[in-house]
Each structure stands twice: as structure tokens, then as C-alpha cells.
């Protein structure tokens, strides 16, 4: 079990990088996936996640040139949100064979099979751009957090490794769609230096995971906390003797 390759998405990497104990609870323990689905915080986010999935579905239908009526399901807010995005990104308004919606790529690295799904990938002779739809407003001071997020790092890393493009020719644009605000975007350009950094981080994370999985399955040693962890919504769950934090 420990030696079998792991199929890892950006969500897995993000959770592992942020909180190994949560990763353990959710993915390594028996019934972990079930626990994740019944977690109150997880459930509380479900309505927005469902709506976000619908939004992605509509955008995919649009790219395929299929009628939207059925998937819009008379949801006025959904329709207005999609229209707002189409208006903000004129390139989406006309068909273009260089665009690929819900485009999936796989990359084998060490013990892992890294998997990404791009909402939209636009390839040209000179470069490639990944577009990603977010159904919430652009967070304040988002650039640093978004640059450090494993979605950004993995999406660009995998594209650089699985295409003939140089890292400098790649970018990732997040579009934030939340009415009544106008859609806002944030574009991150990739580079050879960032590519090297991401590779190092990735290799370290996968090595940690390999060791921790082995320790967990063979000796039941729990995955450790991150030493530099600043906020801990789960502290009391994992360490019941911990007093409540001041904030």
C-alpha cells in the first residue's frame, strides 16, 4: 500500500503543506473520506461549492458550443454571473480551436501521479495561458497567498513539464466572479526561477509524504504538525488538552 503511487491533486498538496494531521484524518485513516464529508465546516461550504460546480459546468458547455438552458436551470444569478464573465473576457465570446475546457494533465514524479484540471487552457505559438474561474470576490492582498497556493504552483509546474513551452511563456489568470461586483482578474506569470523553486518544494513534500505514510501504516505514528503553523482551527480536535486560543 505504501509503495503504490499516489494520485495527488493541488487540493491534496495544499492540505498536506498546511496541515499534515488533517491530511491524515481525511486521506489515510479508515473512513477518512467519510469524515471529510460529514465535517461540519466542510458541509457549511457545500452550497457555495455546488453553485461553483454549476458555474464551471455552464462555462464548459459554453466552450463546447452546447445550449446553456438546461444547465442554467432558470438560475438568474448563475446566468448573470456567466454573462458578466463573458463580457469581461471578450476572447471567450468567439470560438477558438486553441482553447481547451476542463483540460486534464498527468505528471509522474517520484512516488506520485500529479493531476491537474484546467478550467480553460489557451495555447498559441508563443505561449500558453491557464484560466481558472473562482466564484467568490478577489480577496484583499491576494497576490502573495495565491502565488504560494499549490493550485498556482502545480498548475504551472505541470504545464511546463508536459509541454514544449518555456516557463517564461506560461501564465495563470484567476477570474473572480461574484455579483454584484464586476469580475476581477489576477494574472501570475511563470519563470525558470519559480519552476526550480516549485520543483524543490514538490520533491520535499513528496518525500515527507512517503516517510509519513510509511510511519503511519507500519507503526501508526501520526503525521506531525507544521512547526511554523500560525493558525489552528483544528488544534483542539487533535490536541484536546490545548487551551482555547486568545482570538
Give the CB-side neighbour count of residue 97, counting CA atoms within 13 A: 1
What are the C-alpha distances in Å from 91 to residues 3, 16, 39, 99, 215? 45, 36, 40, 10, 50
> From the list 8, 15, 19, 92, which residue makes contact with ligand SF4 (rule: CB under 6 A)?
19
Distance between CA atoms of residues 10 and 167, nearest Å: 19
Say whether residue 183 binds ligand SF4 (CB under 6 A). no
What are the C-alpha distances in Å from 158 to residues 101, 107, 152? 17, 7, 10
Stretch that binds ligand SF4, among 87-95, 160-168, 172-180, 223-231 (CB under 6 A): 223-231
Whether cis (ω within 30° of 0) applies to the bond prior to 180 is yes
Distance between CA atoms of residues 204 and 233, nearest Å: 25
> From the list 27, 51, 165, 238, which residue makes contact with ligand SF4 (rule: CB under 6 A)?
238
Q: Which is nearer to ligand SF4, 19 or 172 (CB)?
A: 19
Say whether residue 229 binds ligand SF4 (CB under 6 A). yes
Stretch that binds ligand SF4, among 33-41, 104-112, 161-169, 234-242 (CB under 6 A): 234-242
Say whether residue 236 binds ligand SF4 (CB under 6 A). no
> From the list 45, 166, 196, 226, which residue makes contact with ligand SF4 (rule: CB under 6 A)?
226
Stretch that binds ligand SF4, among 124-132, 136-144, 173-181, 232-240 (CB under 6 A): 232-240
Stretch that binds ligand SF4, among 18-26, 45-53, 88-96, 136-144 (CB under 6 A): 18-26
Whether residue 201 contacts residue 187, with contact meaning beta carbons closer than 8 Å, is answered with no
Q: Which is nearer to ligand SF4, 19 or 59 (CB)?
A: 19
Sign (positive or negative) of CA dihedral 229, 232, 237, 240: positive
What are the C-alpha distances in Å from 229 to residues 12, 215, 225, 226, 234? 18, 22, 8, 5, 11
Say whether residue 21 binds ligand SF4 (CB under 6 A). yes
Say whether residue 232 binds ligand SF4 (CB under 6 A). yes
For ligand SF4, the binding residues (CB under 6 A) are: 19-22, 225-226, 229, 232, 234-235, 238
Amino acid at each position: 500500500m505504501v509503495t503504490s503511487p499516489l494520485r495527488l491533486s493541488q487540493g491534496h498538496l495544499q492540505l498536506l503543506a498546511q496541515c499534515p494531521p488533517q491530511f491524515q484524518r481525511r486521506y489515510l485513516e479508515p473512513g477518512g473520506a467519510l469524515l471529510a464529508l460529514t465535517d461540519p465546516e466542510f458541509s457549511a461550504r457545500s452550497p457555495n461549492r455546488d453553485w461553483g460546480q454549476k458555474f464551471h459546468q455552464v462555462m464548459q458547455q459554453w466552450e463546447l458550443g452546447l445550449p446553456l438552458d438546461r444547465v442554467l436551470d432558470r438560475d438568474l444569478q448563475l446566468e448573470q454571473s456567466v454573462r458578466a464573465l463573458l463580457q469581461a473576457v471578450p476572447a471567450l465570446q468567439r470560438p477558438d480551436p486553441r482553447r481547451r475546457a476542463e483540460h486534464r494533465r498527468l505528471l509522474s514524479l517520484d512516488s506520485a501521479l500529479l493531476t491537474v484540471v484546467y478550467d480553460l487552457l489557451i495555447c498559441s505559438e508563443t505561449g500558453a495561458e491557464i484560466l481558472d474561474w473562482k466564484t467568490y470576490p478577489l480577496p484583499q492582498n491576494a497576490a502573495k497567498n495565491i502565488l504560494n497556493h499549490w493550485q498556482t504552483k502545480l498548475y504551472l509546474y505541470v504545464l511546463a513539464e508536459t509541454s514544449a513551452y518555456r516557463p517564461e511563456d506560461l501564465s495563470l489568470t484567476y477570474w473572480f466572479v461574484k455579483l454584484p461586483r464586476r469580475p476581477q482578474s489576477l494574472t501570475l506569470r511563470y519563470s525558470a526561477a519559480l519552476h526550480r523553486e516549485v520543483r524543490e518544494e514538490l520533491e520535499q513534500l513528496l518525500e515527507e509524504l512517503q516517510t509519513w505514510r510509511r510511519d503511519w501504516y507500519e507503526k501508526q505514528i501520526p503525521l506531525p504538525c507544521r512547526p511554523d503553523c500560525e493558525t489552528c482551527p483544528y488544534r483542539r480536535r487533535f490536541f484536546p488538552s490545548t487551551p482555547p486560543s486568545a482570538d
